[in-house]
Chains A and B, each alone.
Chain A
Amino acid sequence: MIWQLDLLILTLIILCAFAAIKLKDMLSAVIIFGAYSFLLCLIWVEMGAVDVGFTEAAVGAGVSTVLFIAAVYRTTRTIAPPGPGRNFLKIIGFLSSVALGVVLLFAVGDFPDWANPNSPASLHVSPYYILNTIKDTSVPNIVTSVLADYRGFDTMFETTVIFAAGIAVIAILRRKIHKTDNNNSQAVETGQTETGTNIIIQTICRQMVPFMQLFALYVIAHGHHSPGGGFQGGVILGASFILLALSYDLQKMLKRMSEKWNIILANIGVLIYVGIGTLCVFLGANFLDYSILHKILPATSPIEARSHGMLGIEIGVGIAVMAIMITIYTNIASEGKHDKGL
């Protein structure tokens, strides 16, 4: 904890936030927003929340920037100048946000001091997690055990939310093109790729993809012992495919990971999570109570079974997140036509 450094980063974050709102050019605003996410990630790491920082770096600064750029590229780059009727709405918006800000500022006085041991947040469940995680689950990384075991329901529905987001993107954007249009678009695509190729970028990206995927698998499988887990690993796995689509074109990526397989994998990922929970019910325990799994896993005690159950659901989350990230990217970058990317 160095408070001078915190103050500096916090000032930069606020500057970035204002710049991102004020800029008229959407592409610059997206880049500023990426910088904002990255600074926020630094703050999280400074405060000791390494898992949150990792997620912010992978999702906020990494994939969501690419998704925003794809959306800006496919829509318009500049904001339309405000019409005459907009001022009234602007004043209402300004007044309501100022009122909300004042109310929130009043609430700040009731907050406990930072790291106060007597605050409600650190009196009830937090000490239990800190003291008993190793005893209960034999998982050294407390964050993973809270996320995947103690609060497994929460994480299950977070995964479902991501799944629903992917389905919504498909439902809104996806459209089939007719056979006759298909030939035309393919001709356009080959013309595009010839001007857009760059052998340096393609070679380096192609060499980098397997290492990224290896690192993602490490993050998923090692989430019990070090920062990381299903969400981060899944996002990095998805990013490796998006990198392939960006450096070559969309077709090359879709050959390796077709739309059909993406949807199937997203379903499989969520099903693994819910399936492990239901398996626990069938074996005679509560939903998502992994300790009962020691009956079917050979040579494990109930405590180790909880650790293995967590690994199982992390794999499910990783598969689902990866497939959904690729689906969202392909649909936004090609306006749902899946013919050519950016």
Chain B
Amino acid sequence: MIEIFSIILMLTGFFFFCVTTIGILRFPDFYSRMHAAGKGDTFSSIFMLLGLVLINMQHLSIGTLLVSMKIVFILVFIFLASPTATNAIIDAGFESGVMPWTKEEKVENKEV
């Protein structure tokens, strides 16, 4: 039963990883790419690590419980650090003058 749950969680994480990769490759500009990377990466990592926590607790003992707790700590750390890093990168891009993509600009480019 626990196995099925953890497989479902991991597949969800895998799906979001794929979506993140497609987003990074297909979005038109820096900001929307960072949006995909920051959100998708954090979300899928959380699902993946939750799956690992569950599959690690199959044989419940103090040892496996400790390892699971450490994974949960990593999860909290990623939940804080990954969006902050995305924010830092986007901030750096904004300060160095990367312009966001707009529809009008695209039309102008086509005309030129």
| Residues in A lying within 8 Å of B, measured CB to CB | 195-196, 198, 200-201, 204-205, 207-208, 211
Asked if A198 and B87 sit within 8 Å, CB to CB, the answer is yes
Task: Among B81, B88, B95, point to the contact of A208 (Cβ < 8 A).
Answer: B81
* CB of B84 within 8 Å of the partner chain: yes
* Cβ B95 vs Cβ A201 within 8 A: no
Binding site for A on B (CB under 8 A): 77, 80-81, 84, 87-88, 91, 95
Asked if A208 and B80 make an inter-chain contact with CB atoms under 8 angstroms apart, the answer reads yes
- B81→A198 contact, CB < 8 A: no
Shortest B77–chain A CB gap in Å is 8
On whether the beta carbons of A201 and B87 are closer than 8 Å, the reply is yes
- Determine whether the beta carbon of A204 is less than 8 Å from that of B84: yes
- Distance (Å) between the CB of B12 and the closest chain A CB? 22
A196 to B95, CA, bound (A): 9
Please, which residue of chain B has its CB at the minimum distance from the CB of A204? B84
The answer to whether A204 touches B80, judged by C-beta atoms less than 8 angstroms apart, is yes
Question: Which residue of B has the minimal Cβ distance to A205?
Answer: B84
Which 5 residue pairs are nearest across A and B when measured between Cβ atoms?
Answer: A204-B84, A201-B88, A200-B87, A198-B91, A204-B80
Q: Could you list 17 further interchain pairs (A-B, Cβ under 8 angstroms) beyond the known A195-B95, A201-B84, A201-B91?
A: A196-B95, A198-B87, A198-B88, A198-B91, A200-B84, A200-B87, A201-B87, A201-B88, A204-B80, A204-B81, A204-B84, A205-B84, A207-B80, A208-B77, A208-B80, A208-B81, A211-B77
The distance in angstroms between the C-alpha atoms of A201 and B95, with both chains bound, is: 15
When chains A and B are docked, how far (Å) is the Cα of A107 from the Cα of B104?
63
- 20 A-B residue pairs with CB within 8 Å: A195-B95, A196-B95, A198-B87, A198-B88, A198-B91, A200-B84, A200-B87, A201-B84, A201-B87, A201-B88, A201-B91, A204-B80, A204-B81, A204-B84, A205-B84, A207-B80, A208-B77, A208-B80, A208-B81, A211-B77
Name which residue of chain B comes closest to A198, CB basis.
B91
A342 to chain B, nearest CB (A): 11
Q: Please report the C-alpha to C-alpha distance between residue A11 and residue B33 in the assembled complex, in whole angstroms.
A: 26
**With the chains together, A195 CA to B77 CA distance in Å?**
28
Chain A residues with CB under 8 A of B88: 198, 201
Instruction: State A110–B19 Cα separation when bound (angstroms).
Output: 47
Measured between C-beta atoms, what is the minimum distance from A34 to chain B in Å?
Answer: 13
Q: With the chains together, A201 CA to B91 CA distance in Å? A: 10
- Distance in Å: Cβ of A46 to nearest Cβ of chain B: 17
Question: Contacts of B81 on A, CB cut-off 8 Å?
Answer: 204, 208
Query: Please, how many angstroms separate the alpha-carbon atoms of A206 and B85 in the complex?
Result: 14
* B109 CB → nearest A CB, Å: 25
For A207, list chain B residues within 8 Å (CB).
80
Distance between Cα atoms of A200 and B95 in the complex (Å): 16
Chain B residues with CB under 8 Å of A208's CB are 77, 80-81
Contact residues in B for A205 (Cβ distance below 8 Å): 84
Could you say which residues of chain B place their CB within 8 Å of the CB of A196?
A: 95
State the CA gap A204–B81 with chains docked (Å): 8
Q: Chain B's nearest CB lies how many Å from the CB of A95? A: 40
* Cα–Cα, bound, A26→B88 (Å): 21
In the assembled complex, the CB of B75 is this many whole angstroms from the nearest CB of chain A, namely 14
Instruction: Output the least CB separation between A341 and chain B (Å).
Output: 15
The docked-state distance in angstroms from the alpha carbon of A204 to that of B76 is 12
- The docked-state distance in angstroms from the alpha carbon of A204 to that of B82 is 11
How far, in angstroms, from A200 to B88 measured CA to CA in the complex? 9
In the bound complex, what is the Cα–Cα distance between A198 and B81 (angstroms)? Answer: 15
Residue of A nearest to B84 (CB): A204
Which residue of the partner chain A has the closest CB to B88? A201
- Quick one: closest B residue to A196, CB to CB? B95
Please measure, in the bound complex, the distance between the C-alpha atom of A195 and the C-alpha atom of B91, giving whole angstroms.
11
Q: In whole Å, how far is B34's beta carbon from the nearest beta carbon of chain A?
A: 14
- Closest chain B residue to A246, Cβ basis: B88
| Closest residue on chain B to residue A215 by CB atoms | B73
Q: In the complex, how many angstroms separate the beta carbon of B62 from the nearest chain A beta carbon?
A: 15
Residues of B within 8 A of A198 (CB): 87-88, 91
Most chain B beta-carbon neighbours within 10 Å: one of A195, A196, A204: A204
